[in-house]
Amino acid sequence: MKNLEVSRFYQKRSKAAITFTVLTPVVIAILFVGVFAHSAPQQGCRDEIRIVLSSNGFAPSEVQHAPGSFAIAVENNLLSGEYTLRLKAEDGTVLSEIQVQKGSSAWTVNLQTGRYTLTEVDHAQWSCSIVVQ
């Protein structure tokens, strides 16, 4: 009788070991995919820099980004009226102008390595440097 009990014990243990051996890589894979998906940018999210416009100008006064295509998102939650934002290259070339009102505005740029300046045309002291490196 004892041999039968020992045999059943090892059969159960063997099944548990097989189940553990098969499931462990699956669980690890699920955890890996979950962590990777959480750290990767979500679909629909944009690669962007965020700048706040207020009566004191832009905050932050300098941002950095890698070369390539990305969005410049400007949040204006305080100022009413319409403002013209101008993006210039180091040599003074105007790359874009955009009209913004209260709320958020965003536009896409494709910038190479260099230093760019975002200003408001009627407020020269409002300035944000965009360093692309």
- If we measure between CA atoms, which residue out of 129, 130, 83, 132 comes closest to residue 105? 83
- pLDDT for res 3: 60
59 and 5 in one domain? no
1-50 pLDDT tens trace? 566 565 565 566 555 555 555 545 544 444 344 433 333 333 344 699 99
72-92 pLDDT tens trace? 999 999 999 999 999 999 999
- pLDDT for res 5: 63
87 and 57 in one domain? yes
How many Cα neighbours within 13 Å face the side chain of 89?
A: 10
Q: Tell me which residue range forms the domain holding 120.
A: 48-132
Instruction: For residue 75, give both structure tokens.
Output: 């949040």
CATH code for position 61: 2.60.40.420
- pLDDT for res 68: 96
How many Cα neighbours within 13 Å face the side chain of 34?
A: 6
65 and 25 in one domain? no
125 and 61 in one domain? yes
99 and 53 in one domain? yes
- pLDDT for res 29: 44
Q: CA angle 37-39-42, nearest 5°?
A: 65
- If we measure between CA atoms, which residue out of 122, 119, 47 comes closest to residue 86? 119
- Number of helices followed by number of strands (H, E) in the chain: 1, 9
Domain count, the chain: 2
116 and 64 in one domain? yes
107 and 55 in one domain? yes
SS3 assignment, position 3: helix
116 and 58 in one domain? yes
